[in-house]
Structure 1
Amino acid sequence: MLKVIAACGSGMGSSQIIKMKLEKVFKKLGIEASIYHTNIGDAKSQAANYDVVVCSDSLIGTFANATAKKVIVIGLKNLLSEKEIEEKVLEKIVNAQ
Protein backbone atom coordinates (compact mmCIF):
# COMPACT_ATOMS: atom_id res chain seq x y z
CA MET A 1 0.00 0.00 0.00
CA LEU A 2 1.30 3.43 -0.96
CA LYS A 3 1.65 6.06 1.72
CA VAL A 4 0.71 9.42 0.21
CA ILE A 5 0.73 12.92 1.68
CA ALA A 6 -1.19 15.78 0.05
CA ALA A 7 0.09 19.23 0.98
CA CYS A 8 -0.97 22.84 0.55
CA GLY A 9 0.06 26.15 2.04
CA SER A 10 -2.33 26.14 4.98
CA GLY A 11 -3.27 22.47 5.16
CA MET A 12 -6.97 23.07 5.03
CA GLY A 13 -9.03 23.25 1.85
CA SER A 14 -6.65 22.58 -0.99
CA SER A 15 -4.95 19.57 0.57
CA GLN A 16 -8.35 18.07 1.42
CA ILE A 17 -9.46 18.55 -2.20
CA ILE A 18 -6.24 16.91 -3.45
CA LYS A 19 -6.85 14.00 -1.07
CA MET A 20 -10.41 13.49 -2.32
CA LYS A 21 -9.31 13.62 -5.96
CA LEU A 22 -6.44 11.20 -5.26
CA GLU A 23 -8.83 8.74 -3.61
CA LYS A 24 -11.01 8.73 -6.74
CA VAL A 25 -8.06 8.34 -9.10
CA PHE A 26 -6.40 5.59 -7.04
CA LYS A 27 -9.70 3.70 -6.79
CA LYS A 28 -10.18 3.98 -10.57
CA LEU A 29 -6.64 2.70 -11.19
CA GLY A 30 -6.86 -0.05 -8.57
CA ILE A 31 -4.05 1.39 -6.43
CA GLU A 32 -4.23 0.82 -2.69
CA ALA A 33 -3.13 3.93 -0.84
CA SER A 34 -3.29 5.56 2.55
CA ILE A 35 -3.65 9.32 2.03
CA TYR A 36 -2.99 12.02 4.60
CA HIS A 37 -3.44 15.76 4.02
CA THR A 38 -1.68 18.60 5.83
CA ASN A 39 0.07 21.96 5.51
CA ILE A 40 3.37 22.44 3.73
CA GLY A 41 5.50 22.72 6.88
CA ASP A 42 4.16 19.49 8.35
CA ALA A 43 4.47 17.73 5.00
CA LYS A 44 8.07 18.85 4.59
CA SER A 45 9.05 17.45 7.99
CA GLN A 46 7.22 14.15 7.37
CA ALA A 47 7.80 13.63 3.63
CA ALA A 48 10.59 11.06 4.06
CA ASN A 49 8.07 8.78 5.80
CA TYR A 50 5.87 8.65 2.69
CA ASP A 51 6.15 7.10 -0.76
CA VAL A 52 4.49 10.01 -2.59
CA VAL A 53 3.98 13.73 -1.96
CA VAL A 54 1.34 15.60 -3.98
CA CYS A 55 1.27 19.40 -3.93
CA SER A 56 0.97 22.49 -6.09
CA ASP A 57 3.68 22.97 -8.73
CA SER A 58 4.81 26.07 -6.84
CA LEU A 59 5.64 24.01 -3.74
CA ILE A 60 7.74 21.25 -5.37
CA GLY A 61 11.04 22.87 -4.33
CA THR A 62 10.07 22.43 -0.69
CA PHE A 63 10.56 18.68 -1.07
CA ALA A 64 14.12 18.53 -2.45
CA ASN A 65 15.30 16.50 0.54
CA ALA A 66 12.45 14.02 0.11
CA THR A 67 13.22 13.64 -3.60
CA ALA A 68 16.82 12.82 -2.69
CA LYS A 69 15.44 10.01 -0.51
CA LYS A 70 13.50 8.55 -3.46
CA VAL A 71 10.12 9.98 -2.46
CA ILE A 72 8.01 10.65 -5.56
CA VAL A 73 6.92 14.30 -5.64
CA ILE A 74 4.01 15.18 -7.91
CA GLY A 75 3.31 18.83 -8.63
CA LEU A 76 -0.09 19.93 -9.91
CA LYS A 77 -0.95 22.99 -11.99
CA ASN A 78 -4.69 22.57 -11.41
CA LEU A 79 -5.52 21.08 -8.01
CA LEU A 80 -9.12 20.44 -9.11
CA SER A 81 -8.27 18.45 -12.22
CA GLU A 82 -8.77 14.71 -11.81
CA LYS A 83 -7.50 14.34 -15.36
CA GLU A 84 -4.16 15.97 -14.48
CA ILE A 85 -3.89 13.94 -11.28
CA GLU A 86 -4.58 10.70 -13.15
CA GLU A 87 -2.04 11.55 -15.89
CA LYS A 88 0.67 12.32 -13.32
CA VAL A 89 -0.09 9.24 -11.20
CA LEU A 90 0.17 7.10 -14.32
CA GLU A 91 3.42 8.78 -15.37
CA LYS A 92 5.19 8.96 -11.99
CA ILE A 93 3.84 5.88 -10.18
CA VAL A 94 2.25 3.30 -12.47
CA ASN A 95 4.45 3.57 -15.56
CA ALA A 96 7.63 4.35 -13.62
CA GLN A 97 7.78 0.88 -12.05
Structure 2
Amino acid sequence: MRILVSCANGAGTSLMMKMKVQQALKELGIEIREIRHCSISEGKSAAKNYDVVFCSANFVDMFKDAEAKGVKIIGMKNILSVEEAKDRLKEAGLC
Protein backbone atom coordinates (compact mmCIF):
# COMPACT_ATOMS: atom_id res chain seq x y z
CA MET A 1 0.00 0.00 0.00
CA ARG A 2 1.28 3.45 -0.93
CA ILE A 3 0.41 6.13 1.62
CA LEU A 4 0.72 9.91 1.59
CA VAL A 5 0.45 11.97 4.78
CA SER A 6 -0.23 15.65 4.21
CA CYS A 7 -0.46 18.74 6.41
CA ALA A 8 -0.47 22.48 5.85
CA ASN A 9 3.29 23.01 5.49
CA GLY A 10 4.61 19.47 5.17
CA ALA A 11 7.17 19.86 7.92
CA GLY A 12 6.83 18.82 11.57
CA THR A 13 3.14 17.98 11.84
CA SER A 14 3.05 15.69 8.82
CA LEU A 15 6.21 13.92 9.99
CA MET A 16 4.66 13.25 13.42
CA MET A 17 1.42 12.14 11.79
CA LYS A 18 3.36 9.85 9.46
CA MET A 19 5.00 8.16 12.45
CA LYS A 20 1.60 7.59 14.12
CA VAL A 21 0.08 6.23 10.89
CA GLN A 22 3.06 3.87 10.49
CA GLN A 23 2.54 2.63 14.03
CA ALA A 24 -1.18 2.06 13.39
CA LEU A 25 -0.47 0.17 10.16
CA LYS A 26 2.12 -1.99 11.91
CA GLU A 27 -0.26 -2.78 14.78
CA LEU A 28 -2.96 -3.77 12.26
CA GLY A 29 -0.54 -5.90 10.25
CA ILE A 30 -0.94 -3.85 7.07
CA GLU A 31 2.05 -3.94 4.75
CA ILE A 32 3.38 -0.55 3.66
CA ARG A 33 5.05 -0.32 0.26
CA GLU A 34 5.73 3.40 0.64
CA ILE A 35 4.78 6.16 3.08
CA ARG A 36 5.65 9.80 2.52
CA HIS A 37 4.74 13.13 4.08
CA CYS A 38 4.35 16.51 2.37
CA SER A 39 2.50 19.82 2.34
CA ILE A 40 -1.12 20.15 1.23
CA SER A 41 -0.13 22.01 -1.94
CA GLU A 42 2.26 19.22 -2.97
CA GLY A 43 -0.13 16.53 -1.74
CA LYS A 44 -3.03 17.74 -3.89
CA SER A 45 -1.06 17.05 -7.06
CA ALA A 46 0.71 13.89 -5.83
CA ALA A 47 -2.31 12.21 -4.18
CA LYS A 48 -3.48 10.41 -7.33
CA ASN A 49 -0.26 8.35 -7.22
CA TYR A 50 -1.11 6.85 -3.82
CA ASP A 51 -3.63 4.37 -2.47
CA VAL A 52 -4.41 6.32 0.70
CA VAL A 53 -4.01 9.92 1.83
CA PHE A 54 -4.07 10.87 5.51
CA CYS A 55 -4.69 14.49 6.41
CA SER A 56 -6.34 16.65 9.02
CA ALA A 57 -10.15 16.40 8.82
CA ASN A 58 -10.42 20.04 7.72
CA PHE A 59 -8.31 19.34 4.59
CA VAL A 60 -10.28 16.36 3.24
CA ASP A 61 -12.17 18.43 0.67
CA MET A 62 -8.89 19.47 -0.94
CA PHE A 63 -8.42 15.87 -2.16
CA LYS A 64 -11.73 15.43 -4.01
CA ASP A 65 -9.96 14.95 -7.38
CA ALA A 66 -7.84 12.10 -6.00
CA GLU A 67 -10.85 10.57 -4.28
CA ALA A 68 -12.74 10.58 -7.60
CA LYS A 69 -9.86 8.49 -9.02
CA GLY A 70 -10.21 5.86 -6.30
CA VAL A 71 -7.77 7.14 -3.68
CA LYS A 72 -8.99 6.66 -0.11
CA ILE A 73 -8.88 9.98 1.74
CA ILE A 74 -8.72 9.65 5.51
CA GLY A 75 -9.30 12.76 7.58
CA MET A 76 -8.29 12.73 11.22
CA LYS A 77 -9.41 15.00 14.05
CA ASN A 78 -6.52 14.07 16.33
CA ILE A 79 -3.60 13.64 13.95
CA LEU A 80 -1.38 12.25 16.70
CA SER A 81 -3.73 9.45 17.72
CA VAL A 82 -2.69 5.93 16.76
CA GLU A 83 -6.11 4.67 17.86
CA GLU A 84 -7.93 7.12 15.60
CA ALA A 85 -5.68 6.15 12.68
CA LYS A 86 -6.55 2.49 13.26
CA ASP A 87 -10.25 3.31 13.50
CA ARG A 88 -10.17 5.31 10.25
CA LEU A 89 -8.32 2.51 8.44
CA LYS A 90 -10.97 0.03 9.57
CA GLU A 91 -13.80 2.39 8.56
CA ALA A 92 -12.22 2.76 5.11
CA GLY A 93 -12.20 -1.02 4.73
CA LEU A 94 -8.42 -1.23 4.50
CA CYS A 95 -7.99 -3.95 7.11
The answer to whether TM tops 0.5 is yes
The AA in structure 2 aligned to 1:75 is G
Tell me by how many angstroms 1:93 deviates. Answer: 3.5
The AA in structure 1 aligned to 2:44 is K
The AA in structure 1 aligned to 2:53 is V
Which residue of structure 1 lines up, in the alignment, with residue 41 of structure 2? Answer: 41
Please show how residues 58-97 of structure 1 align to structure 2 within 5 Å.
58-94=58-94
Runs of 4+ in 1 over 3 A off after TM superposition: none
Residue 17 (str. 1) matches residue 21 (str. 2): no
Normalised by the length of structure 1, the TM-score is 0.93
Q: How many residues matched?
A: 94
Tell me by how many angstroms 1:94 deviates. Answer: 2.6
Superposed CA offset, 1:66-85 (max 9, x none): 01001000000011111111
Q: Distance in 1 between matches of 2:76 and 2:25?
A: 16
Q: Distance in 2 between matches of 1:58 and 1:29?
A: 25
Q: Distance in 1 between matches of 2:21 and 2:81?
A: 10
RMSD: 0.9
Specify every segment of 5 or more residues in structure 1 that has no aligned partner in the other structure, as ranges. none
Superposed CA offset, 1:10-69 (max 9, x none): 000111011100111111111111210000011100000000000001100100000100
